[in-house]
Each structure stands twice: as C-alpha cells, then as structure tokens.
Structure 1
Amino acid sequence: MKKIVLSGIVAALLAPNLHAEAFDLGKVTVTSELDENIVFEQTTTEESIERDNALSVSEALDNVSGITQEIQGGRAESTLYIRGFDARRIGVFIDGVPVYVPYDGNFDYDRFLTTDIAEIDVSKGYSPVAYGANTMGGVINIISKKPTKALEGSLKSHVVFDSNVNFARQVSALNVGTLQDKYYIQLGANYANQDHFRLSDDFEPTAYQPSGDRLRSETQDQKINLKAGYLIDETAEVALGYINQQGEKQQPPATDTDFSKEKYWDWPYWDKETIYLNGQKIFDDSYLKAVLYYDKFKNSLYSYADDTYSTFNNKGFTFKSKYDDYSYGARLSYGTEIGKHMLTLSANYKTDVHRGYDISKTDSTTTLTEKYEDNTLSLGIEDVYKISEKMELLAGISYDRKEGEYAYDEDSAIEGIPLGSQDTFNPQIALLYKPDGSTIFRASIARKTYLTSMKDRYSRRLGSAIPNPDLKSEKSTHYELSYHKKMQNTDIGITGFIASVDDAIQSVVVDDNGTTDTRDDLSQNQNIGEFEHRGIELDINYQNDDFKVGGNYTYLSLVNKSNNGAKLTDVPKHQLFAYAQKDLTSNLSLYGNIKMRKGAYEQKMDRTYVINPTFTTLDAKVIYRPSKDLTAELGVKNLTDKYYAYDSAFPMPGREFFVTMQYKF
C-alpha cells in the first residue's frame, strides 16, 4: 500500500494496538510530509494544560501566541480573540463538530473545562478548507481523549481557596476508557462549582460592590462526554459521540457605571448537547471521511428590577427570556494520492435555527418572539504538491454560501423580513521549505470571509438597534511568513502576519434623539470600512533533564484604514506569557509563570475610547509525585494579589490558593 498523508489519520489505524491519545477521527488538518503532518496549526497538549493549571478552554488558549482571552463582564462569559478577530469570526469545533451558538456565533469558553481534553488545535490564517464556512479569524478544534489500553483513566480533584483561605471553587473529574480488539469506549465526566471569588485587597469599594467577596459570582457546570468506536478492520473505523454540558451562572454587578450599564441579570441555565457519528475508510491510495451531527443550545436570561434579584416591573429593561437553538449538518471529505499530489475534496452542509421566547413575568407561559433559520453550504478543494524533498506547495479554494431560509420578528414593522443570501470564494496558497532536518520556513496568503450572523442582520437589541438584513459579509486577506528551528533542547518560532479586512462591521449610532443620554440612542450594524491587523509572534521553549523554560510574546497593531474614528476593542497590543519548571528531586518540582497584557482599548458608556490599564500576574506551585500514577500540587494564583480587570467594570479575582490531586491508572 502506498504511503498516504491523510488528514486526521495516523498510524494507529494501520496498527490497532498503537492508538494515539487524541481522538483522531475528530481532527481536521492540512497535512505535510515536511512538517510532521501539521502545517499551520498550533497544538495545546494535555501536558501543557496541566502544567499551567488551566481549568477552562479560555485559560488554556490564553497561553498561546496570537490568542488573547477577554472576560466580558457584562455577559458573565469568557471569549477569545485570534490575532484580533473575535469569537464570532472564529470557527469553534469539538472533535470536528461546529458548536458555536447559531444566533450570534458567540461561545462562552469558560463553560468548557479541560479535564476531558487531549489537545486543542488552533489554525490562524491558513486553515483547512474542509472546516467549511466562517473561519475568517481562525479555527479552534477541541479534541477529546481516546483510550490506548484495555483499561485506563484518571481521577482529579482541584480545590480553590480565596486569600482568606475560605473555600471558593472546586473541580472534580473522571476519565475512563477501554480499548479492545474491535472497539473502544471513552467516558469523561466533570463537575465544577464556584461559591464565590474574592477581590484583591487593592480594590476600592463602590456603591455597587463592597470589598471582599465578589457579589453574584456563583457558577456551576457539569459535563458528560461519551463516545464508542468500532474498528471494522485495519482500514475502517466508526464512532458515535455524545456530549452533554449543563451550566448556570450569576451576573456580578458592574463596579463602575462609566463602563457598563447598571443591570441585574442571571442565567438560570446555559446548556449544550451534541451528538455525532464519525467514520472513515482507507483505500490503497485514498480515503473517505464523514461526520453527521446535531448540536442543541438552550439558555435563559432573567433581567430583574433591582439588586434583590427577585422582582420585575413593566419597564422594558426587565424581562425573562430564553433561547432554544439547534444546528444539524454533515461533512464529507475524500482524499487521494496522485503522483506528487495529495488532493482533498470536501463538502459541508449546515442548518442553523434560532428561536427566542419571552417568558411571562407573572407565570411560566412563553411567547415566541423571534425565529430565524439559515442554511450554509461549503465546497472545497485542497492540494499538497511535493515539489522536491525539501519543498512543498499547498493550495486550496472553497465556495461558501449562506441562505436566509426563514425570519420572524414579532416587533418588525416590515411585512416579511428580507432574507437575503451571501456567497464567496476563498482561495489560499502556501509554500513550505525545509532546508535541513531542523529548520522550516512557511509563507502563505489566505482569503477568508465572515458570513454575517442572524444577530448581526436582525437583532433589535432590546429596542436599541435597527435591523440591517442587507448587511454585507466581511472579507479578510491573511499574509503570513514564519520560521521554525528545532535544536537539541530548544524550539524557536518567529511569525509575522498582516490581515487586511474589508467591509468591517461595527455598530453605528444612527439616531441619538437629539440628547446626550446614550441609553436612548438607536444603533445599526453597518459595513464601515477597512481594518488591518499587523503583528509578530515569538515562541521559544527549552528543556533538559530537570529544567524547562519557555513562553511566547505577541505584538499586535489594529489599524483603522478608513479613518472614521472607530477602534477595535479588548485586544492588547502586547501580550507575554513565560513559564519555568525545575525538578528538585525525582518526585519534587517547582513551577511558576508570568502573564503581561498591555494596550487594549475599551469603550466607555459615553462612547469614548480609553486604554485598559496594563497588568502582570504571577502564578506558582509545588508539584509532588510520590509515584508515577499520583500527583499532588499546592499553589497560588495571582501571587501578588494584583488588582486587574479585562473589562474595567468587572474586576478579576485577587490572590487564590489551590490544591490539586490527580491519580492516573
């Protein structure tokens, strides 16, 4: 059988007793013989997640160059930016299945714990066209675990105490799997409960928040991730997966109403459920891979009249509402080796349905207030051409089309909301050059498109916005040049990039009612012009027998080319992450890291821009391994009790202590 470079397929399929730890059927990659089967991806491994004590996906990826976390206090959620592109412009997948929220494309990364994750694959500019539409800002693919033995697993408990050594949070997790001759089963279960977090002692009390414990900071999350796979033979495999995520969260009050409205919100539930069927078949010189999926998202939001969080009134800012959204779709990929070419054809189809309801303030009756449906089709072709033993040329193009299938809004003054359609071609090309076994150069140009969401086009934002059904898609062109050098104990990476964005979408005030009170303004999403994202990413890691040190630095400049005064917010100009670990004995180690964030704009309620204060945090821990299967950790986060905030109205936790116990079998 010929040697085939397959997307998401490793030698495990050809030798069933050599299975990888990551669920390979869930991977979607651009492959290359020159670059160890990974071209423009960065992978965050389970090892690095545990090293940094990253409890959520947002914490884990905040340590990756080019990616920045943003805590959106007004929504009580954590989001991510890739090179300045927000979550709506990033495709988010779990085991290759799209899971971003259909209505607005947002994704609360803080709701998803890392305890059942084998790795997280991130693509930035150049990315596989097989992912389908809406990957303008990049792709995040969260890969779950897959068993390697007849019986294996882990038990983990993580307990957090505040600066007064009072219980604040706990995370408990179980992972267990079995690999047999013809099948495997993997179960992941986790539970997290946050009682509160305590603010830094440097926080100055306000009318809305006293010193000490943060008001309304309780959260609870639980998740089940179950999959079963059947190995038909050495060349074929199918797997059925089921993920059930249930959460609830409180909304802390804004501490500074110059930056956020005074509001009293709660989310009684925030739930996601996903089921998928994945399979692949390898032939002599080709392969076929397919996935079918159904993803459901439900949440509820209550907006109360006052800080008792118990009463409502007849004013518009108090309400009880819920979303009941779902998506279903499929992906089919066919790859074949023809001479020096590895050709891949792919097709994606996805239907998104959003249903919004008002819940009566006096009883449990519900009223449908909005319903939207979009259908998205994506067709792609990709080729890896081996020019020589040291050089490869990659090229791909996709055609993406989104059709508005249905739109209903009970408040619409328009008889029949215009549905509209959007379509685009997205070409990309890359060159890889490997002059020796330790050095590789990459250059790429990629055209990407953001097909506008339902919320972008239709939302009235509780009466403060005017819909724009004819809103055009955003387009970006990504230019990237990178260098990677792998020496005996050291890895070095340098990447420069520019992303030019056309028809950028921003909310624009279209009616200020002749007053200075911004609460009465009416806004509309419009295509306002051009932005350019420019930056440099530096990565370095060193390791010897008893010492590890490494980290990354990202410089990012976001330039408004239209000179209309608008700025992109929440993204720092400078971000640094560095870590070091020293083994004192064979079973005792010390670990520490540092994070620095500087130069992010944010917008005040009066629509003026200010720069969020620079902050630096330090974490440290002691690691004790009495045996190869058991690990105990004692540590502290935000060692200096630094007062900081991603959003100036919503401060972050002060100093916290933690204890972690993990047993692997």
Structure 2
Amino acid sequence: MKKKVLFLSVLSSVLLADTYELGQVNIKTNINDINIFEEQITEDSISQQNSFTINDALDSISGINQDLQGGRGESTLYIRGFDARRIGVFIDGIPISVPYDGNFDYARFLTGDISQIDVSKGYSSVAFGANTMGGVVNIVSKKPTKTLEGNLKATLVLDSDAKVARHIESLNVGTRQENFYAQLSAAYSKQDHYRISDEFEGTSTQPAGERLRSENEDKKVSFKVGYVADDASEIALNYANQKGQKQQPPVADTEYAKNKNWDWPYWDKETISVTGQKNFESSYLKALAYYDKSKNSLYSYDDSTFTTMNTGKAWKSRYDDYSYGARLEYGLELSTNLLTLAANYKKDVHRGYDISKTDDSATLQERYEDHTISLGIEDSYTISKDFELLAGISYDTRKADDIYDTTTAYQDMLEKTTQHSVNPQAALIYTIDDSSKLRASVVSKTYMPTMKDRYSRKLGTAVPNPDLKSEHSLQYELSYTKRVNNLLGQINGFYTRVDDAIQSVVWDQNSSLKQNQNVGTFNHIGLELELTYKTNDLEVGGNYTYLKVKNTKDESVKLVDVPKHQLFLFAEQKFLEDFSLYGDMKFRNGAYEQKLDYSYVTNPSMTVFDIKATYKPIDSLTTEIGIKNLTDELIRYDMEYPMAGREFFASLEYTF
C-alpha cells in the first residue's frame, strides 16, 4: 500500500501528541495540509483566550454565537442559526445532550482537561449518527505521552470593585509506560457572584451592581486507562463524574420575560465508556460502548425570598435521565478510495419526578423511552492529484419504546411513533495548487424531534404532538482556502433551506393552548471570512460572520438570539522568550429579541475587549494577569439577563 494505510499513519503520529485519538471522529481524506471540513480549537487557543468554559472557547469561531437561555439558566450556542438541540455535542465521541430535550449547558463544562475541540458546521462524518443537522461539536480529552506529565493551574477572578467573584482550579496528571497509559484530571470552579456593568441602571427586580443569585459551583473528576499495541491498535476505559449546582438570577427586564423564583440544587452527570481500535494491513475496526447519566433538580419558590413553597406555583421536581449506546466503525483503504462504514445504536430514557414539599418523597410523573439506530457509509475517492470526491449517506430511525404520563389530559394522543430519515451528502475538493483548495458541498440532514418537542405540556399551556415529523434541511456550501507563507485565509459561503420546521402555534381545537407542529420553512444565508498571520513572535487573526435567517412562510416570525453580524479579532506579541501581550475583541450586532407581547426588538450592539500579559520566569511556570470586558460593556445576549461587566483575573500554572 503506497500510504501504508492513512489511518495507521495518523494513529502513529498522534502518539507523539497529547490528543486522545480514540475520542476523535473525523472525515477521512487524503488532504491533510489545510483544514477542509473540521475547524479545530486547540488547547493552546483555549489558554490564549482564557476560555474558562466550553461556551467561551467556541464563541470565537466563525458561524458560532453564544447565548443564554435565561429561563433554564443555561449557556448555549448556535451554529449558523441552528440551536443547541439541532447540534450534535460529543465528548470523546460520546453523545452527551440530555435525553429529554436535547439541550446541553455548555457553561457547566470547564476546559482544564481538554486537548482540542473539533467543530463541523456543515458536512460532517456519518459516523456521529443521527441529529447533526446544525453541526457537530466533539470535545477531545487529553492523553499522556511521557513517563510522567501534567499541570496544575489556579485562576482568581475579581469583579470591577476588586471583590473576589470566582476561582478555578484544575489538575492533570498522566503517565505512559511502554504500551500502557493512564490519565487523571480534576477541575473545580466556584463563582460567588458577578458584577454587572456600571452602564446597567437597575430595575425593580435587579438593582445595579452585583447580579442577584448568580452563584454556581462545578466540580469534575475523570480518568482513563489504555493499552497501545505495537501495531498502534488501542483500547481504553474512561470514566467521568461531574457535579454542579446553580442559582437562577431574576429577570432584569420584565418586558421580555416573567420572573421565575427558581433554583437548581444539583446538576450532575456521570459517564463510563470503553473504546478500542484494531488495525489491520489496510483497514481498521473501531468500537465504542458507553453509559451516560444526567440528573438535575429544579425548585420553584413562592417569592424572591426563596424560603417558602406554599402557593400553587411552588414545586420541586427532578429529572433522572440516562442513555446507553454503541458505535461500530470500519475503515478500508483501497487504491483510490478511503471507505468508512458506521453503525450507531442509542437508547434514551427520561424519568421526571414530582418531589413532595413536606417530606421530599419522590413520585414518578413521566417516563419516556426512545431508541435510535443510524447506519452510514462514506467514501473519499481520489479522482486525480487535483480532485477528490467525498460522498456519504445515512439512514436514521427513532422509535418511541415507552410513554408513561400521570397527567390525565390528552392521554389518548400519546401514541408511540417512529421517525425515519435518509441523509445523503457529497463534496468535491479541487486542489488549485499546493497552497490553496476549493471545496463545494451539498448536504441533506434531518432533525428528529425530542421527547420534549413531542410530549411537553409546558406547564399546562400546550398539548402534546407525538406525530411530529422530522425537520429536513438542504445545505449548500462553497469554500476557498489559501495559504501564503505565514498567512492563512478562508472564505465560506453557505445557503440552507429548512422545511417542516417545528414551531409552536395556536392549537386549532382550543385557541388558549399551543402545540408544536411542522409548519415552518426557514432560509439560512451566510458568509464567513477567516484570516490568520503567524510568526515566531507575532500572531494576528480573526473572523467575520454574516448570517441572515428568514422565515419564508411567515416573515413576522423571527429567529431570536442570532446576530446578523459578528466579528472576532485577536493579536499576541511575544517579547523576548518569557513575556507576551495578548488582546482580542468581539463584536455582535443585529440579534432579534422578543417581548412578552410577542413584538420584536433588536438587541443593542456589543463590543467587548479582553487583554492580558503572560510571563514565564521558567519553562515550567506560567503567570498571567488580565482584564475581561476592558471597557465595562453592558453584555446582554438576552435583554432580561445582563452578564458580567469588567473583571480582573490572575492565573498561575505549573507544568511538569
């Protein structure tokens, strides 16, 4: 074999890096000099931008914007206008969104144990399985390469009054002993509060200054043990346990949302998995099995004192959800083809409990179970030295296995249903010369409605609709990448049409209630520009995103929280060998917000600057001081939930 199996050469090379390659799920191509399909955030980039959480790390990528789902107390992301439910989120290839609603709180996950984050915004590997219409985020953990290695890092955050607001600590230690390796990671974050920008004048529910009820705590421990054979075949066992709790800040502007006196006593997650890859002369077989458990509790109180639960609007509840599944992937290298076959199985179980306000006993209120099967095949075909054709297709099916609900209303509507989808995709890559590539792709993808989409009554304001169909999207993209010495640039243009979009509309049998129905059609049109210049001492770069999302069925209905324009710029200059200065700027404009009266307004533009200085007195010790939100800009992803103003931070990291 002329390449001696591309997959094996990749595996061999990553043994010299600290990326856990078994956790990667990538499109196989013969092009490896310029990123074609997956955009990567490295550990160095995360450290450079001082991204404490995953949402912060991803917010600097073109086509991605950060948001806050205030009523849920969750930080979330949009990719090219698609919300988190339509994005496949994975850690080391394991799907981790909550089974009931498909959401994922990005702010609960710290970045201390991350080696890299791979992002696919359009064309993505069929090996990920179903529900990747909006893109894929795969968070890849660390893996040791030396006899003993690791790091210990501590960060202190002060608010604009120089009061301690937050501290974050992380530890990574690993060892590689001939064919065996082991990695242990731990992280802890405690936020006492944050202070809103001085531009915020205060309201009846939120005074100026410190944000009310903005405390949260997160802690995580994970480990992996693995064995690598002489032919680079590998097997590993992974375990992660995460515990968190968060408060629910009050609505700061009651024109946009009703105030909720909510509290989240715990937000816990536990994952165990085993994964391995067996390499043959010209092929490989990769297998993954996992169990992922999500548990959280939500309390609603009588009033803002958070002391009593006597009224009808006060309650206690908890979710006890879990998923288990497996993936099997087979790759084969032929003379001109790189062929991949994949199969995924995933079982999702949701259990919702009502907790007694007197003795804390729990009563099962609802239990829903689904299983999803996905079969896919993709191929990379080398037409000539200048052209490569990629094509793939998957078949996905989701079946409702069980529906149990103690609420008597609309019981006759709760039927077990099945959704099916076929998702073809193709891309053509043209190598113009050694430094430039042109890519064109067409992708058809679907979004299968979640349990919440189908069954939720939204606290008595809606009726279920288990007959919801899948949303269908057709995505076109044209991309050009060029490298000139130290300069790398890329331009992406895309158009997406989404049919059968799920929207909440007035129920035809009772105008006082709503129901989710497949009634929407949306067009997503956008442009992404990326540019980076890097030398040994200087790095400058950034990206710009233009995005327009239009409801073609009803232009009066807008997509909220997605900016029309977004700009990210950064620069880092090294002085001597041990000192550097870094700064970045984020700008967003044109995001719609909706008031309680259903009218729309445009969220004010935001321009945020961060700066920091880094000093390394010795190779193993790094010290940093900096300022986030230098100008104390009033940050409001949602108008009713103002974010932190100016903050000062200092960090110390020891590496061994």
1:167 maps to 2:164: yes
Pair 1:576 & 2:567 matched: yes
Residue 663 in structure 1 maps to residue 654 in structure 2: yes
Measure the CA separation in 2 of the matches of 1:5 and 1:39: 20
Quote how far apart the aligned CAs of 1:323 are: 0.1
Q: Please say if residues 5 and 282 of structure 2, whose CA atoms lie closer than 8 Å, have aligned partners that are also in contact.
A: no
Look up the match of 2:273: 276
Moved more, 504-513 or 475-484: 504-513
Query: 2:446 matched to which residue of 1?
Result: 449
Q: Offset of 1:565 from its aligned partner? A: 2.2
Which consecutive unaligned segments of at least 5 residues does structure 2 have? none
- Residue 106 in 1 paired to residue 97 in 2? no
Amino acid at match of 2:228: L
8 Å contact 1:152–1:177 — kept in the other structure? yes
2: CA distance, partners of 1:393 / 1:448: 19
1:630 aligns with 2:615: no
* 1: CA distance, partners of 2:426 / 2:11: 30
Deviation at 1:179, TM superposition (A): 0.8
| Structure 1 residue matching 2:56: 3-state secondary structure | helix
Match of 1:494 among 467, 486, 491: 491
**Structure 2 match to 1:342:** 338
Find the counterpart in structure 1 of residue 43 from structure 2: 46
Query: Which residues of 2 match residues 501-520 of structure 1 at below 5 A?
Result: 501-510=498-507
Matched-pair contact (CA < 8 Å) for 2:461–2:513: yes
1:203-258 C-alpha deviation (Å, 9 max, x unpaired): 11211111111110000000112101012332421000001111000000001111
| Separation in 1, partners of 2:309, 2:136 | 41
Matched length: 655
Q: Of 466, 476, 481, which residue of structure 1 is paired with 2:473?
A: 476
Q: Which residue is 2:88 aligned to? A: 91
In structure 2, the residue corresponding to 1:457 is in which secondary structure?
helix
CA contact under 8 A between 1:29 and 1:38: conserved in structure 2? Answer: no
Contact 2:503 2:520 in 1 (8 A): no
Residue 540 (structure 1) aligns with: 531
Query: Which residue identity does 1:26 align to in structure 2?
Result: G
Aligned positions of 1:227-376 closer than 5 A:
227-315=224-312, 317-376=313-372
Q: Secondary structure at the match of 2:3?
A: coil
Displacement after TM superposition at 1:435 (Å): 2.1
Counterpart of 1:220 (choices 217, 221, 246) is 217
1:92-117 Cα deviation digits (max 9, x unpaired)? 00000111110000000000001100
8 Å contact from structure 1 (residues 31, 38) kept in 2 = no
Cα separation, 2, equivalents of 1:510 and 1:227: 50
- The CA deviation at 1:384 is 0.5
Kept after mapping to 2: 8 A contact 1:32/1:38: no
Contact 2:153/2:653, CA 8 A, preserved across alignment? yes
Give the Å deviation of 1:35. 3.5
Show the counterpart of 1:649.
640
- What CA distance in whole angstroms lies between the structure 2 residues aligned with 1:640 and 1:585? 29
CA deviations over 1:257-292 (Å, ceiling 9, x no partner):
111111100000000101010000111111100000
Aligned to 1:518: none
Amino acid corresponding to residue 204 of structure 1 in structure 2: E
CA contact (8 A) 2:156 2:650 kept: yes
Q: Which amino acid aligns with 2:348?
A: D
1:67 touches 1:81 (CA, 8 Å); kept in 2? yes
Q: In structure 1, what is the Cα distance between the partners aligned to 2:421 and 2:288?
A: 24
Compared with structure 1, are the counterparts of its residues 513 and 308 closer, same or farther at alpha carbon in structure 2 (3 Å cutoff)?
A: farther
| 8 Å CA contact retained: 1:12, 1:19 | no
SS at match of 2:304: coil
1:429 and 2:429 are equivalent in the alignment: no
**What TM-score, normalized to structure 2?**
0.98
After superposition, give the CA deviation of every residue in 1:156-198 in whole Å (9 maximum; x if it has no partner): 0011000110100010000011111111001110000000001
Q: Which residue of 2 aligns with 1:517?
A: none
- Check the 8 A contact 2:224/2:237 in 1, yes or no: yes
Change (3 A) 1:4 1:398: farther
How far off its partner does 1:663 sit?
A: 1.2
User: Within 5 A, what are the aligned runs for 1:174-185?
Assistant: 174-185=171-182
Cα distance in 2 between the residues matched to 1:318 and 1:462? 12
Kept in 2, the 8 Å contact 1:30–1:37? The answer is: no
Deviation at 1:341, TM superposition (A): 1.1
CA contact (8 A) 2:11 2:232 kept: no
Distance 1:531 1:547 in 2: 42
Task: Report SS of the residue matched to 2:462.
Answer: coil
Corresponding position: 1:386 with 2:382: yes
Is 2:6–2:333's contact at 8 Å kept on the other side of the alignment? no
**Any idea what the Cα deviations from partners look like across 1:509-565, whole Å, max 9, x if unmatched?**
338988xxxxxx522111122101010001101112321110100000001111352
- Asked if the contact 1:286–1:334 (Cα under 8 Å) also holds between the matched residues in 2, the reply is yes
Residue-by-residue CA offset, 1:62-94 (whole Å, 9 max, x unaligned):
000011110122211100110000000000000
The one-letter amino acid of 1:477's match is: L
Give 2:189's aligned residue.
192
Q: Deviations over 1:367-387 (max 9, x none)?
A: 111100001000001010001
**C-alpha RMSD of matched pairs (Å):** 1.5
Contact 2:302–2:311 under 8 Å retained in 1: no
| Amino acid of the structure 2 residue aligned with 1:171 | I
- For 1:211 and 1:524, locate their aligned partners in 2 and report how far apart those are by CA, in whole Å: 39
Contact 1:103 1:453 in 2 (8 A): yes
Which residue in 2 is equivalent to 1:401? 397
2:62 corresponds to which residue?
65
| Aligned-pair CA distance for 1:488 | 1.1
The whole-number CA distance in structure 1 between the counterparts of 2:496 and 2:241 is 36
Is 1:587 the counterpart of 2:578? The answer is yes
1:74 is paired with a residue whose SS is helix
- Could you tell me whether the CA contact under 8 Å between 1:235 and 1:283 is conserved in 2? no
CA contact (8 A) 1:12 1:20 kept: no
Cα distance, 1:419–1:412 mapped onto 2, change above 3 Å: farther
Partner AA of 2:104 in structure 1: F
Q: Partners of 2:187 and 2:606 in 1: how far apart? A: 31
Letter in 1 for 2:337: H
Gaps of 5+ in 1: 515-520
Give, in whole Å, the separation in 1 of the partners of 2:576 and 2:61.
29
The CA deviation string for residues 570-603 of structure 1, in whole angstroms up to 9 with x for no partner, is: 1000001100111233211111110001001111
User: Once the 2 structures are TM-superposed, how far is the Cα of residue 37 of structure 1 from its aligned partner?
Assistant: 8.6
Cα separation, 1, equivalents of 2:144 and 2:548? 43
Q: Which sits farther off after the overlay, 478-487 or 560-569?
A: 560-569
C-alpha distance in 1, partners of 2:320/2:34? 40
Question: Counterparts of 1:470 and 1:5 in 2: how far apart (Å)?
Answer: 46
Q: CA deviation at 1:38?
A: 5.3
Measure, in 1, the Cα distance between the counterparts of 2:231 and 2:472.
Answer: 43
Letter in 2 for 1:283: F
Q: 1:495, CA displacement in angstroms?
A: 0.4
SS of 2:260's equivalent in the other structure is coil
Farther off after superposition, 126-135 or 578-587: 578-587
| Aligned with 1:25 (options 17, 22, 26) | 22
Shift in Å at residue 20 of structure 1?
2.2
Tell me the amino acid that sits aligned with residue 328 of structure 2: L
What do the CA deviations read for 1:12-39 (whole angstroms, capped 9, x no partner)? 44x79x4321100011111211234953
Sort the Cα spacing of 1:566 and 1:69 in 2 relative to 1 into closer, same or farther, 3 A: same
Segment drifting more, 243-252 vs 500-509: 500-509
Which one-letter code corresponds to 1:69 in the other structure? Q
Secondary structure at the counterpart of residue 539 of structure 1: strand
Distance 1:410 1:564, change over 3 A: farther
The residue identity in structure 2 corresponding to 1:587 is D
Assess if the C-alpha contact under 8 Å between 1:618 and 1:640 holds in 2: yes
Check whether the contact 2:413–2:465 (CA below 8 A) recurs between aligned residues: no
The match for 1:3 is 3
